[in-house]
Structure 1
Amino acid sequence: MLTGHPQNPADRRPIILTGDRTTGPLHLGHYVGSLKNRVALQESREQFLLLADAQALTDNAHDPEKVRRNVLEVALDYLAVGIDPQKSAICVQSLLPALSELTLLYLNFVTVARLERNPTVKEEIRLRGFERDIPAGFLCYPVAQAADITAFKATLVPVGEDQAPMIEQSNEIVRRINRQAGHEVLPECRALIPNMGRLPGVDGKAKMSKSQGNAIALSAAPEEISAAVRQMYTDPDHLRASDPGMVEGNVVFAYLDAFDEDRSGLEDLKAHYRRGGLGDMVVKRRLEDILQNLLRPIRERRAQLAKDPGYVLSILKAGTEKARARTETTLAEVRAALGLFQF
């Protein structure tokens, strides 16, 4: 059972901190990029999963109800894919005040110019069309993430390759705090990047995204999965089944690489497609069968859990209590290390 007590000294397993912004249900990109790893890692690591509702407000302050509603939606996705609340603490970011105070302290150890140079932040600013009209909370997102990571003293952070600059910025802040204190207060962490690269959107764009409407949700109905696979981009020059086709850059094959466990059969399929004689619909039917079989048990488990929101909320309460104890301990250590006034 999850409790609010500090970590048992006997439990020296590596600590993982990961999570998601609560802006909508999770999708297959999340599953490939992190969720599948989280389920496996909870067996051998101490893991905290952060429902990042405060960070979700950085570009959704106009719609706080959306952010609040999706706290439960993301939690349902976690549980449906196999996150075990007895092994992983699921916690709500905005209910952990130590994170906000650490963010405020860390802001004194980073410059605006450094934040603007962060490649991940620059790309997100471009995608959202902020130009110079950037919400301050959004620009400071890397600092808030550093507060999240260090508050739990996490040493492993599962992220996609595009998030690696955020981890480096967190470690820069850690080094500055430790240098200021004159001893190690906080550990550095490393990014745990999955072998599978970023899953493209069904429309062929580089990134699957809820906001761009090119994602397949983990809760997608059978007909939604079918429609998404049908509209996937293949090889625009593969006009007839008899034509040789390109596998590279072909969205359908990118998904097969991610989800088809019959690796030998997949290589045969690729060879057939390359030499010609294989229609796109044959390849799409194979992918649809795989995705339907993958998502069916997740969708059914999720629907069952959604019938008892009180149970899900009790999991969040227990996980948040455990996280609050851990983060407040770290905050006290950082305050003492920086020599801040206290009674």
Structure 2
Amino acid sequence: MDVVVTGMRSTGELHIGHLVGVIDNLKKLQETYKSYFFIADLHVLTTNYEHTEDFKKNRVSVMLDWLASGVDPNKATLFIQSKVPAHTYLHLLLSMIVPVSWLERNPTVKEMIRDLDLKENASYGLLGYPVLMASDIILYKAKYVPVGKDQLPHLEMTREMVRRFNYLYGELFVEPQALLTEFPYVPGIDGKKMSKSLENDIKISDTEEDTTKKIMKAVTDPQKIKLHDKGHPEVCNVFTYHKIFNKEEVNDIERECRSGELGCVACKRNLANKLNEYLRPIREKREQLKNEIDKVEDIFEEGSKAASLVANATLEEALTKMNLK
């Protein structure tokens, strides 16, 4: 069976954008491939190295969100990156052969330094994160990595590292292929990209009351001011949510919005009910898992041990190829 690998940084509680953009995809992948899904906690340090006080809490939060949403440890190997030391060992080996120029041309690093105003505080770890990312993938000889089109350059850098290693020391690693995935765009309640840091997100773990309050504050069509004004759903955040979470009624909502029959307040209330209905079983499962936290952590502990067996075997092959064994 073909292998697929993907990870998620544990920076805090996940929101509905993660749910439909990432977690739903993990659930599909686990049915088709030999899947390795990991919590990329080491990658968090590339930008949050000064603030590790919530490190463990955030890691557990991702565990709960994954399991409650249907990611299945019986169908995929679920593990924590930092508990598989082979990731950091191979990262070191690859860093010896990767030209600095490859890393300096990475547009994502430049954007992160600019957006986070890091300037001279940008760390070696941030510059070299593509090397760690490559290690994450090739240790499991993954054939596929799920990515959006904007992430193709990142994957190509991994492929370049594989080609360089194989050229220098002999064939070992697999060049991973992109498994192109269309991630539904879920805007924040203010219309910007949904983000915890912008406080415009709706978390999986939010209460139904909190979810309703956030929906009622959501930005809508700026031209629909009065109750019976004709709306333009294509520019409305609330309608975007309806398309994802209320597919049965979305055509009627679009028609009634355009005609002026449906007001924004009623539209938001309808959405809040539908979204809470959609999230209710996930939230109930999450609460149940919170009361079984030892069991949850054991799942990822066992998954980390299983991942280590595979990763260590590949690392031994790499060390042998490099005449370090």
Please give the TM-score of this superposition, normalised by the length of structure 1.
0.88
Q: Which residue number corresponds to residue 255 of structure 1?
A: 241
Q: Aligned pairs, how many?
A: 325
Q: Which residue number corresponds to residue 154 of structure 2?
A: 166
- Is 1:237 the counterpart of 2:223? The answer is yes
Unmatched 5+ stretches in structure 1: 1-12
Shift of 1:147: 0.8
Q: Which of 237, 256, 263 is matched with 1:279 structurally?
A: 263
Corresponding residue SS for 1:47: strand
C-alpha distance in 1 between matches for 2:78 and 2:227: 48
Q: Is the 8 A contact 2:148 2:183 kept in 1?
A: no
Matches within 5 A, 1:1-343: 13-183=1-171, 185-205=172-192, 207-262=193-248, 265-337=249-321, 339-342=322-325
Q: CA RMSD in A?
A: 1.9
Shift of 1:177: 1.7
Shift of 1:216: 1.2
Shift of 1:100: 0.5
Shift of 1:161: 4.2
Q: Which residue number corresponds to residue 4 of structure 1?
A: none
Shift of 1:210: 2.1
Shift of 1:132: 4.2
Q: Is the 8 A contact 1:17 1:149 kept in 2?
A: yes
Shift of 1:108: 3.1
C-alpha distance in 1 between matches for 2:241 and 2:109: 27
1:29–1:125 distance in 2 versus 1, CA, 3 Å: farther
C-alpha distance in 2 between matches for 1:322 and 1:101: 17
C-alpha distance in 2 between matches for 1:194 and 1:113: 29
C-alpha distance in 2 between matches for 1:256 and 1:110: 46
Shift of 1:153: 1.4
C-alpha distance in 2 between matches for 1:272 and 1:283: 10
Shift of 1:160: 4.1
1:230–1:111 distance in 2 versus 1, CA, 3 Å: farther
Corresponding residue SS for 1:71: helix
> Match for 2:93: what amino acid?
L
> Match for 1:14: what amino acid?
D
C-alpha distance in 2 between matches for 1:117 and 1:252: 39
Runs of 4+, deviation exceeding 4 Å: none
Q: Deviations over 1:114-137 (max 9, x none)?
A: 323323333333332223431221
More deviation, 73-82/120-129: 120-129
1:121–1:256 distance in 2 versus 1, CA, 3 Å: farther
Q: Is the 8 A contact 1:119 1:165 kept in 2?
A: no
Percent sequence identity over matched residues?
A: 39
> Match for 1:239: what amino acid?
I
> Match for 1:258: what amino acid?
I
1:285–1:112 distance in 2 versus 1, CA, 3 Å: farther
Q: Deviations over 1:156-178 (max 9, x none)?
A: 22344443332222122122222
Please give the TM-score of this superposition, normalised by the length of structure 2.
0.93
C-alpha distance in 2 between matches for 1:108 and 1:249: 49
More deviation, 113-122/144-153: 113-122
C-alpha distance in 2 between matches for 1:162 and 1:289: 34
Q: Deviations over 1:191-242 (max 9, x none)?
A: 334334332222211x212222221111110111112211211111211232
> Match for 1:253: what amino acid?
F
Corresponding residue SS for 2:303: helix
Corresponding residue SS for 1:220: coil
